[in-house]
Structure 1
Amino acid sequence: MRVLVTGAKGQLGQDVIHIFGQAGHEVIPCSRQELDVTDLNQCRQIIASYRPDCVIHCAAYTAVDAAESDIDGAYLVNAIGTRNVARSAEQVGAKLVYVSTDYVFLGTHDRAYHEYDSTDPRTVYGQTKLAGEQIVRDFSTKWFIVRASWLFGLQGSNFVKTMLSLGQEKPLLQVVDDQKGSPTYTVDLARFLLQVSTTEKYGIYHASNRGSCTWFEFTKAIFEEAEEQLGIKIKASLQPCTTAQFPRPAPRPANSVMDHLSIRLNQLQDLPHWREGLKQFMLDMKQHPELYLK
């Protein structure tokens, strides 16, 4: 299968390239330098020239807080950019995999969200990603919408790396304990994208690592795994706090845990538990210390 990847230099995009290549597929990596998704003509020309069997659309505007004041910029990438990619993929008959987010939900349910729950995003970021979802459904005939959450990986910066740095520097860390979600290792997500993209089981999927925790519980696990797997000495003591103590421009969902209904119904292999994903991340980091920011 010939696979074109947008956002190829991003945290997820780099793992998608590696995982698909490792599986023997021909991968065409397109970073922003090679493919500006906001340019319709460029999208048409490049995708038509490569004629991929599948497009994995990882390119996105992901600065959640910045999007609250940069509404046009967020919609340009997440909505118009997705339209450009979707139309161009459709013209060559390619499957389209659109990576979406838990932020499409309101985040106030007392249970995990499944794929067919009503969406109601509170943030500009969530609204733009939902717009992208609708565009995929409008312009594509062979589509997968894959919602993920709390991503962390070896490439670039993320919550895990930030906490590891702060944990070695600060005597005290306050971490939010009233937001619940599912941390997701980008390698595990990339493997799921590989699995689903080789099928014709089109539709919406929730693909996070299994299980759930709060940011405080996640941080505690990060420190435990770092000390056990990497021998890192954590000096910070952890203290739980509330969302209200750390107001942000974009409101955070209190509950962004996602039920994997579509994975079960389509008899696909689910992602590992988030704690397993975190442990594997630490082991992979041990093999690639140059990717650790500290």
Structure 2
Amino acid sequence: MKKSHPLRRIVLAGAATVSGIVLLLTLKPSSDPAAASAEGTPQGQQSVAPQGSGGVQAAGNGDQTLTGDVVKTEYGNVQVRVTMSGGKITSAAAVQAPSGGRSTEVSTNSVPKLNQAAIQAGSADIDAVSGATYTSGGYKKSLQSALDKAGSSAATGGGSGGGGGSADASGSTGGGGAAQAKTLTGTAVETDYGPVQVRITVTGGKITKAEAVQSPSGGRSSQISGDAVPKLNQAAVAAGSADIDAVSGATYTSGGYKESLQSALDQAGG
């Protein structure tokens, strides 16, 4: 009896140790790996997908981004890019502008004003910024060329429909109204101070827009043109003809403007 008693203790202790080890092994594996992988995956996918789909939808809303021609000035190139929505300018920016030395300061001051003026006017018929005559002139020419591209694309759509009346061509612009809009450029008229050339838009037989594509520039001539041309543009639209008064102090520019304007109107009549 005394010999068997210690042996029984040893057997019981061994059994308890084995059962404890088995219990630990069954509890431990369920903790880390699965939980870690389950949290990491969804976050990476959700942050990428919504951004990609939103960018594509915003780009496909019928807006037009148009870049005008590069216009060379005495101080550097000017090029304008506009975004149009529903026939209106919604944003304007100078892709290129004179830079270096004083030109950088002039461009920094004038370009934001010209951008704002383009959006407000909805056309290239905007005033030159004081102290930035050349930049303003280049800006207006490049802006007009961008707007001409918008007009030509609309005209191309209308032209392909022609007399047949394509539904796609006429529906978005209010029927035949767009087909009646014409952009006409008059002949370049030489004056004692430089050539003058006028471009007009005629809609329904009326001048809706007028602009000098060329005007005297350099020295005092730039200042005179900057003052006179916007007044002549306004007078042409108001009168609906070339029968407009000369601007005081700009006799030669006014005379050339009227002659070029009349040649453009002759084209409309023809």
Structure 2 length as normaliser, TM-score?
A: 0.34
Higher relative contact order (CA 8 A, sep 6+): 1
Structure (1 or 2) with the greater helix fraction: 2
Structure 1 length as normaliser, TM-score?
A: 0.32
